[in-house]
């Protein structure tokens, strides 16, 4: 085959999948890298705008293979051999101009950081994001209609996948084998010592729940603020529908006035005008009073705004939130700090509310969406 040429690229990760062990190791490495980058991945526009069915590509900056990194200091190298240097001596440093990207005064000449794109389904990504999330403070109600999938570990086996290994049982088996052979202690672990957990999915019935998604769509909410709010609600809706089968979600939008809207309009339709946040709290209380009795439902409300509310309306908002806390399991308020201009009057007013069931978050950039999800949906211990 002397006339055939082959090209090998270090970016081609399929070269490292030479068997089941390599494939499994690769999948685990990709999964670990994605989990480390969840805060950045969660707010990727390609995911938020996807239809939820396709395989998506996510940028992973910590997925890299071992290789030499060359020093681009134009031959100004430093090293330690048999000379007069000793421990603690400064042998060299990066020149001031050797910075990544474009610098003031001209184009940069240094390379940037490589990243890889990993293929993953949106369902697999959702599974990682929702791993530790749940509706907090669920109380028993008259009608237990809300069902969720629950994992129950049933058995221990000698065969399984590495992510399900039972470390405690494996160590016990190794200690027992060594003791029976007359050499007590943990000397080694063999294939025969490995034990794996198996589980069954069961359905757990809980009380009914309704979640109110409330979003500021006024003129002060620019493209960045609306994108952050919609990113949060995108994952919130997917989380609730993935983990709970019968949860009800209502969508309320507001500017100076509030109205109930369809899910599609909530995520696509924009508005303008002034901001009067009390209007959405009034509408939420009206909906709860007319359709969702606190005796029958666990009620949650989440409101996102840029905080630029009519000053004279702030005290009314505080009073209405305190009324909502009497009928809700939790009220969440998320405030988005704009990248160019930011002012808030509402969050300052909300600082007066001292109630553990009133939870607030601030989001300054896209990476803040994932921590907001974790804070709002932290499961009760």
Write down the pLDDT at residue 174.
83
For the entire predicted model, the pTM comes to 0.64
Same domain, 282 and 157: no
Write down the pLDDT at residue 262.
94
Domain stop point among 99, 129, 159: 129
Same domain, 123 and 192: no
User: Which CATH number does the domain housing residue 365 bear?
Assistant: 3.40.50.410
Write down the pLDDT at residue 9.
44
Measuring CA to CA, which residue among 208, 204, 207 is closest to residue 151?
204
User: What is the end-to-end Cα distance of the chain in Å, rounded?
Assistant: 65
* Domain-embedded: residue 7: no
Write down the pLDDT at residue 75.
54
* Domain-embedded: residue 8: no
Distance CA 83, CA 266 (A): 70
Same domain, 314 and 363: yes
Same domain, 165 and 50: no
Give the 3-state secondary structure percentages of the chain, helix then strand then coil, rounded to 5. Answer: 35, 20, 45
Write down the pLDDT at residue 112.
56
Same domain, 197 and 303: no
365 and 338 in contact (C-beta within 8 Å)? no
Strands 116-121 and 55-60: antiparallel
Write down the pLDDT at residue 39.
82
Write down the pLDDT at residue 283.
97
Same domain, 252 and 364: yes
Residues 6+ apart with CB under 8 A from 41: 34, 47, 58, 59, 125
| Total tally of structural domains belonging to the chain | 3
Same domain, 357 and 263: yes
Write down the pLDDT at residue 20.
61
CA distances for 278 relative to 121, 204, 217, 284, angstroms? 40, 37, 14, 10
pLDDT averages per 10-residue partition of the chain, 381 residues? 45 50 71 78 73 60 54 54 62 51 52 61 79 81 57 66 76 82 77 76 65 94 91 93 86 94 89 88 96 92 93 95 96 88 79 94 92 87 53
Domain span at residue 29 reads: 13-65+116-129
């Amino acid at each position: 085959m002397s006339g055939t040429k082959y090209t090998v690229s270090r970016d081609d990760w399929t070269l490292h999948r030479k068997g089941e062990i390599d494939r499994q190791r690769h999948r685990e490495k990709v999964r670990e890298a994605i989990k480390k980058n969840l805060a950045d991945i969660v707010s990727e526009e390609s995911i938020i705008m996807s239809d939820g069915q396709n395989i998506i590509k996510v940028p992973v900056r910590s997925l890299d293979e071992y290789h030499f990194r060359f020093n681009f200091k134009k031959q100004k190298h430093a090293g330690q051999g048999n000379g007069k240097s000793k421990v603690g001596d400064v042998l060299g440093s990066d020149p001031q101009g050797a910075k990544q990207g474009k610098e003031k005064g001209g184009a940069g000449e240094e390379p940037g950081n490589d990243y890889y794109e990993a293929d993953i389904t949106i369902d697999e990504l959702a599974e990682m994001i929702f791993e530790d999330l749940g509706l907090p403070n669920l109380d028993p109600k008259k009608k237990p209609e809300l069902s969720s999938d629950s994992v129950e570990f049933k058995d221990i086996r000698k065969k399984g996948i590495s992510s399900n290994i039972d470390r405690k049982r494996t160590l016990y088996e190794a200690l027992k084998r060594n003791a029976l052979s007359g050499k007590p202690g943990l000397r080694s672990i063999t294939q025969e010592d490995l034990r794996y957990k198996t589980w069954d999915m069961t359905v757990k019935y809980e009380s009914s729940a309704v979640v109110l998604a409330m979003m500021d769509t006024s003129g002060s909410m620019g493209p960045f603020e609306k994108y952050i709010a919609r990113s949060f609600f995108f994952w919130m809706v997917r989380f609730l529908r993935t983990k709970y089968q019968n949860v009800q979600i209502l969508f309320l939008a507001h500017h100076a006035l509030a109205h109930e809207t369809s899910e599609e309009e909530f995520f696509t339709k924009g508005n303008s005008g002034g901001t009067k946040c009390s209007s959405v709290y009034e509408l939420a209380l009206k909906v709860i009073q007319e359709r969702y009795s606190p005796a029958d439902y666990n009620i949650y409300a989440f409101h996102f705004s840029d905080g630029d509310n009519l000053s004279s309306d702030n005290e009314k908002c505080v009073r209405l939130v305190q009324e909502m806390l009497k009928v809700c399991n939790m009220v969440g308020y998320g405030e988005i700090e704009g990248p160019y201009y930011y002012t808030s009057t509402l969050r300052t007013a909300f600082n007066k509310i001292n109630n553990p069931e009133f939870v607030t978050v601030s989001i300054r950039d896209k990476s803040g969406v994932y921590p907001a999800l974790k804070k709002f949906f932290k499961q009760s211990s």
